[in-house]
Amino acid sequence: MLVVAGLAAATLTGCGGGGGGSGSGGGDGSITMGFSQVGAESGWRTANTKSVQESAKAAGITLKFSDAQQKQENQIKAIRSYIQQKVDVIAFSPVVESGWDTVLKEAKNAKIPVILTDRAVDSKDTSLYKTFLGSDFVEEGRKAGKWLVEQYKDAKDPVNIVELQGTTGSAPANDRKAGFQEVVGADPKFRIVASQTGDFTRAKGKEVMEAFLKANPDIDVLYAHNDDMGLGAIEAIEGAGKVPGKDIKIITVDAVHDGMQALADGKINYIVECSPLLGPQLMDLAKKVVKNESVPARVVTEETTFTQEQAKTALPSRKY
Amino acid sequence: MRRLLWPLLVLAALLAVNLFFTPSFFSVEMKEGHLYGSLIDILRFGAPLILVSLGMTLVIATGGIDLSVGSVVAISGALACLRISEDGGVLSAVVLALGLCVLLGLWNGFLVAGVGIQPIIATLILMVAGRGLAQLITDGQIITVNSPSFKVIGGGYLLTVPFGILLVLVVLGVTAFLTRRLALGVLIESVGGNAEASRLAGIRSRGIVITVYAFAALCAGVAGLMIASNVSSADGNNAGLWIELDAILAVVIGGTSLAGGRFSLGGTVLGALIIQTLTTTIYSVGVPPETTLLVKALVVAAVCLVQSPKFRDKVFRRAGPRASSRPAAEEKVRVTA
């Protein structure tokens, strides 16, 4: 297996070395990008795909798009085929963190720059890719925590918080938990009385919240790692005869359409955006790396936060 | 009845653990005009699993297995929500979704009984393809519907009791009547014991097998409607994910043999309730999410061990150890529902 990969790399080096000059040095500004997407597992991901496709068109970049259907081997195949097609730049959202060294070395040998989007790889050799464009999940957790601290700055009584975590072990779940903890942990009046995983789904969010409500009669705040779990929890809260947004304050992350609607309706109090619309930033970065300009090793997606008032204004023009 | 003793004890033990951590665990009160309490939650959230497990019980009784029920759950919810979001007709959407589920079940039955493919492979096809079909229907998105009448199926109440629980009681009653008051149950067990011998004895084993797969898919379809209705949305990626494994576990905990030939509906209901109680317990007690799966595995392992007569004999070494286990194995299965 290794021998084959090595041979492939050697052959590709030869091809890439010859073709690199003609491909990117054209000077006419036309750029070809190979993009390998994780899959189409959620509305968030679909919006992400659309954003990349639309902004490529707008930026005049020829996009070769492939969907890996959540499988790393598909993604490696796609990247190899982009190398063979001598694209100018490769961008991809890695399905998993590890196992990319070989194929990324092949791209490097072929002198094709690589941009990571949305998810990182754990490769020690950071020269294998130019930059990583994506959300900072820890910062999202911090933003949620800061709003809460601001809301309760005058409160003397303890604030009982329950947390609905994302899928156990996933980067967004770990980081959103850590960022939130970092901010609210500074003040002992904030107490996280229960924290369980809701697997990022509405059904689990509702089921877990039902149990929380029975085990902890006095809940002040719910922090959910995504909108969907928050939406499920809202139903549980309503079923318990409490008013979501008033009796229990709700903070979520993502800002998908249904979440924004609930925010505008007053059922959620605050949403930290985790934007999938990183297409325009990606195209800017692609143009820079093709021209060999220097780019920062880490670019954070432009993201904001929404209060109920802001949601009402923003809702009509939301794309997802 | 004796065979259900151990599952009953396990369920009681789990409930006792809850009482220790949450003193108000057994209190059931009226809130917003309906019953409200942890026990109601267990029944309500356990309802889809009980339904899927009932279908699975009959399939397993014929010596088969149905891995596709989780995908059928997703397809059913997805199709119903898509129809409702398009034109709002709840009844037609429900009929259409359940109709498709029965068709999918007939397809499974055809592959198993008509073509002769091993059940685990035959239903694996739909397990994989069906998840894709559900995603195709929902376009990979979560379809949100706003229909009060659809909401009733999984999240509504009738005479203060959650509608889902009543639905389960009806399905359980009909199934128990068909299989235990009529000859169907005996025929199913006979096919599970030896399909060829049953055929030679004059039983249409092929028809029986196709029927149970269709029934399992129908149960999964109703469960899918409940899950989608409960949160007023269809999630093609996650609805019913791995529910087939929970259902098989519920059937096994309930004392139905995976080799086929006999089954216990009451045991299956108990098994499903044990699984749901365990889940609720983990949330209420506050087991950290990182160790949830380990805790579940330990409890399930304990349940399986305590149900094994051989294991009990070895550990407890009672005076007449073998006397207690043998009659239990030969005892005629009775419905306790």
Q: Which residues contact B185 (CB under 8 A, 6 or more apart)?
A: B178, B179, B263
**Cβ proximity of B137 and B78 under 8 Å:** yes
Phi, psi for B92 (deg, rounded to 5): -65, -35
Mean pLDDT of the B158-181 span: 94
pLDDT at A310: 92
Element (H, E) at A213: helix A202-215
Residue-wise pLDDT for B210-260, tens only, equals 999 999 999 999 999 999 999 999 988 888 888 999 999 999 999 888 888
| B238/A212 touch (CB, cutoff 8 Å), yes or no | no
Measured between beta carbons, the chain A residues lying within 8 angstroms of B144 are 258
Q: Is the pLDDT of residue A170 over 60?
A: yes
- CA distance, residue A269 to nearest chain B CA (Å): 20
pLDDT at A5: 44
Confidence of residue B208 (pLDDT cuts 50, 70, 90): very high
Percent of chain B with pLDDT over 90: 55
Q: Is the pLDDT of residue A258 over 80?
A: yes
Measured between beta carbons, the chain A residues lying within 8 angstroms of B153 are none
- CA distance, residue B282 to nearest chain A CA (Å): 9
Confidence of residue A28 (pLDDT cuts 50, 70, 90): low
| B292/A214 touch (CB, cutoff 8 Å), yes or no | no
Sheet holding A270-273, edge to edge: A190-197, A159-165, A221-224, A249-254, A270-273, A305-307
Could you give the dihedral angle defined by the CA atoms of residues B137, B143, B148 and B153, in that order, rounded to the nearest 10 degrees?
50
Residue-wise pLDDT for A290-310, tens only, equals 999 989 989 998 889 999 999
Among candidate residues A178, A271, A176, the one with its CA nearest the CA of residue A228: A271
Among candidate residues B22, B23, B54, the one with its CA nearest the CA of residue B243: B54
Mean pLDDT of the A95-99 span: 82
Stated pTM of the model: 0.83
Provide the 3-class DSSP secondary structure of residue A154: coil
* Least confident residue range of A29-38, B241-250, B310-319: B310-319
**Cβ proximity of A162 and A195 under 8 Å:** yes
Phi, psi for A196 (deg, rounded to 5): -140, 160
Residue-wise pLDDT for B101-122, tens only, equals 999 999 999 999 999 999 999 9
CA dist., res. A79 & res. A92, Å (int): 9
Question: Looking at domain B2-330, does it have CATH number 1.10.3470?
Answer: yes
- In chain B, where do the E strands start and end? 29-31, 34-36, 142-144, 157-158, 161-162, 233-235
For tokens 């036309």, what's the residue? A30
**Cβ proximity of A110 and A34 under 8 Å:** no
Measured between beta carbons, the chain A residues lying within 8 angstroms of B45 are 207, 210
| A46/B140 touch (CB, cutoff 8 Å), yes or no | yes
CATH superfamily of A30-135+276-302: Response regulator (3.40.50.2300)
Q: Is the pLDDT of residue A8 over 90?
A: no
| Identity of residue A161 | I
pLDDT at B318: 60
Confidence of residue A124 (pLDDT cuts 50, 70, 90): confident
CATH architecture of A137-274: 3-Layer(aba) Sandwich (3.40)
Say which of A197, A228, A235 has its CB closest to residue B142.
A228
Domain spans, chain A: 30-135+276-302, 137-274
Q: At what angle do helices B243-253 and B265-285 cross, to 10 degrees?
A: 120
Q: Report the Cα–Cα distance between both ends of chain A, in Å, rounded.
A: 43
- CA distance, residue A154 to nearest chain B CA (Å): 30
| B41/A240 touch (CB, cutoff 8 Å), yes or no | no
Asked whether this chain's domains A30-135+276-302 and A137-274 adopt the same fold, the reply is yes
Among candidate residues A274, A272, A267, the one with its CA nearest the CA of residue A180: A272
Q: How many CB atoms lie within 10 A of CB A135?
A: 23
CA dist., res. B135 & res. A69, Å (int): 12
Provide the 3-class DSSP secondary structure of residue A223: strand
Provide the 3-class DSSP secondary structure of residue A65: strand
Phi, psi for A271 (deg, rounded to 5): -125, 130
**Cβ proximity of B63 and B120 under 8 Å:** no
Mean pLDDT of the B59-76 span: 95
| B227/A195 touch (CB, cutoff 8 Å), yes or no | no
Residue-wise pLDDT for B252-283, tens only, equals 999 888 888 889 999 999 999 999 999 999 98
